Structure 1
């Protein structure tokens, strides 16, 4: 079974929500495809869309719009492609301009091309709008230690970015998914653990019927290029091969 040709290519772009749910997302895409999937993913905790970002001060990953996924994608033969764009927002806290963030996402959409079926989740404004000042300080301190999160200026920038994402996604025919406030708890940007399966079934609907056998757990540090304690680390891809012939490459 492992030598079957892929039925679908999946380009999965996001930050921590995608990273936490990547095995689940991959299984949903495999179910949707009805056969092996060639998946390329750029995700990670605190991932930026355009600049190097760090996690726990020791692991750094390149910006999604500038990572090696795009060169790899360009070198591969044509294949029906599904793209997921999610977790756009970390860069607001990192101080990037709204138009700059939107430009990074727009560049990714344009590289994917009009033939790609694209799903984009918008910002969790329904949850962010309900935050009090103390909740903002608590969330920012836990999720982005050492970084200022001025409120309500940050909320205004989030509204601006969301509006731009709606425009650039709509112009390119992406299916836009508006996150429900109920998907989040005290943490206003990460899906509730117990709701992850429900969330992704809404974001990536799949046909009824038996799901494929669950995939393997992901390697902790599997990206093609990263920096660990300041040293560049390169890893061969794909990071995972599944029994049905599906592969997952991490960038």
Structure 2
């Protein structure tokens, strides 16, 4: 948001709040994502971002990559912040909520069952629907995974997910 817009002008233009949930794609592509948002949301409109992302992030359980640890998306502080911004800030009725859920298949490489992952994602969606959010979910990149060689899959898995021993064939 530009600094020269006063409160009354921002109020007239409303606000867009965007919740972004994911893992490495969020971490890697955040600047491009914000740029893309600004292509469709005018600069005069206040843009509020709430982000739960990061390499190795899980939807439902704590994760660690090297020495950095992150709580699962369901257990992170984003939900409390969302509650506050939706119920406490003035003139929130003009604040439209949108959400992007991505990196949904990543939990599978941690050994999480499809049913459990589905329940975690469904709970995220339920929490967002409480605020009538417009929700977009990206698909699991099965085609990319299928094109990955077994060797590259195995090396990546051993480096980033050493506690999981699922095979490339099982994941595809």
The interval holding the TM-score normalised by the smaller chain is: 0.7 to 0.9
TM-score by length of 2: 0.80
Instruction: Report what 1:86 is aligned to.
Output: 102
**Which one has more relative contact order, counting CA pairs under 8 Å at least 6 apart?**
1
SS at match of 2:98: strand
Q: Point out 4+ residue stretches in structure 1 off by more than 6 angstroms.
A: none
- Residues 5-24 of structure 1 mapped to structure 2, 5 A cutoff: 5=10, 7-24=15-32
**How many angstroms does 1:131 deviate by?**
3.4
Instruction: Report what 1:46 is aligned to.
Output: 56
Instruction: Report what 1:116 is aligned to.
Output: 133
CA distance in 2, matches of 1:30, 1:151: 38
Q: Which runs of 5+ in 1 are unaligned?
A: 156-251
SS at match of 1:81: strand
Post-superposition Cα deviations, 1:14-35, rounded to whole Å, max 9, x if no partner, equal 1001111112212221332112
**How many angstroms does 1:146 deviate by?**
5.0
Q: Pairwise CA RMSD of aligned residues?
A: 1.9
CA distance in 2, matches of 1:27, 1:154: 33
Q: Which runs of 5+ in 2 are unaligned?
A: 87-91
Number of aligned residue pairs: 154
Instruction: Report what 2:89 is aligned to.
Output: none
SS at match of 1:100: helix
**How many angstroms does 1:39 deviate by?**
0.4
